[in-house]
Structure formats: C-alpha cells, structure tokens
A = this chain, B = another copy of it.
Amino acid sequence: MSPAVSDREIMRHFIEELERLTNKLLEMSSLVESAIYHSVTAVVQKDEALARDVIDNEVRINQMEMEIDELAISLLALQHPVAADLRLTTAALKINTDLERMGDLAVNIAERAISLIHEPVVKPMIDIPHIAALVQSMVRKSLDAFVSRDPDLARSVLASDDAVDNLRTASYHELISFMEDDPKNIRQAVDLLSVVRNLERIADHSTNIAEDVLYLAEGIDVRHHAETRG
C-alpha cells in the first residue's frame, strides 16, 4: 500500500467517524424534540401517561450523551484533529451537553404536567403550545445549522430567541394577573410559570448551539456580542 493510499484511508476513516458523531447528535436531537413535544402535550391535554413516558425516556437521552462524549473523546485521542476538524469535535461536545440539558428541562415540564393533572384548564395555557412550537423549531434548526454549517439558519435561531423572550414576558404578566384575580389560581399559575421558564431555557440552549455554529462557520465569536446578532 503506497503512503498516499494510506493517508487517504486515514482521512476516509476520520470523515466516517465525524459523520457518525454528527448522526448520533441528530438522533439525540430527535429524542429531545420529541420529549419537548410530549411534555408540553402532557401539560395541555392533561395526559399523565404521556408525562410519565417523557420521564421514563430520559434514560435513553442520558445514555446517548455518554456515548457521544466517548465517541468525541476517542476521536480526539486517535485522530488528533486540528483546525476546523478540532473545533467541530469540541463543538460536538458542547452541543451534546446542551441537548442533554434540554432533555432534563423536558422532564421538568413533564413533572409540572403531573402536578397540574387535576387542575381545570385555564386561559393562560393557550400561549404555551405556541411557545413550545417555536422552541421545538429552534432546536431542530440549530442542529440542522450545525450539520450543514449554515450561518443564516443559525442566525434565524438567534432571532427566534428574541420572539420567545417576548412571549415569555407576556405569559408572565398574564399568569400574575391570573393569580391576583383569585388566590385559588396561585398553585396552578406557579406550575405554569415553571413550564414557561423551562421552555425559555430550552430556547437558550438552542441559542448556544446556534452561536457555536456561527463560530464554526465564520470564526466570529458571537456568544458575548449581542450587537452582532442581527
């Protein structure tokens, strides 16, 4: 085997490993998106079984986090990637952590769903599916932006984060008025506030991923420069 073929082999193997890493992240992202969707559906439809499914499925997300970490670390150990490949691999480690945290937050929402199961359906809940749909699409877009190294898609995630913040503020005020109207609403409203906050935190994690993508794609660190988030 000539050295040239051998180099090509090594490169091919590296590309395959990176693809495996990316595919695992996409698979994990699908689990997380589905956990978000089901946890919010459990809140809105008062479906306790669905909430328990989300809680039970967290173990799969956690297992996958550990697998992805191992994969990325062994890739660093065996392939010594440099430059763009190195940054891609360390970004995968960060994105992995963000996805696992989103899974935790979906579990928090599922726990609120169980706590809310015997409460009557209230008006302020109307905005929650809306926020949830926006947040889910942010998760999907941030991962797609990572896979396709698409800075425009990453920027659209940053723009959605502002929309989530506005919806969160509106829900917050609505829930406070709801509590002030009748103290019997307080426990329920506090649970709903928690659902909204958890969704907001999921959006923040998608934003982190989008910022990592912008850094990979353009070498600009937008993490702490709000003014460049146009």
Contacts and interface: CB of A to CB of B under 8 A. Distances in A.
Interface of A: 59, 62-63, 65-66, 69, 72-73, 76-77, 80, 82-83, 86-87, 90, 93-94, 97, 172, 176, 179-180, 183, 186-187, 190, 193-194, 197, 221, 223-224
Contacts of A187: 176
B87 A90 contact: no
B65 A87 contact: no
Can you tell how many copies of this chain the complex includes?
Answer: 2
Contacts of A63: 224
Nearest to A58: B224
Given A76-B76, A77-B83, 5 more contacts: A62-B223, A65-B224, A93-B94, A179-B183, A183-B183
A135 to B, nearest CB: 18
17 contacts: A59-B224, A62-B224, A65-B223, A69-B90, A73-B86, A76-B76, A76-B86, A77-B82, A77-B86, A80-B80, A93-B94, A97-B97, A172-B190, A176-B190, A179-B190, A186-B186, A197-B197
Nearest to A193: B190
Nearest to A187: B176
Given A97-B97, A179-B186, A186-B179, A90 B73 contact: yes
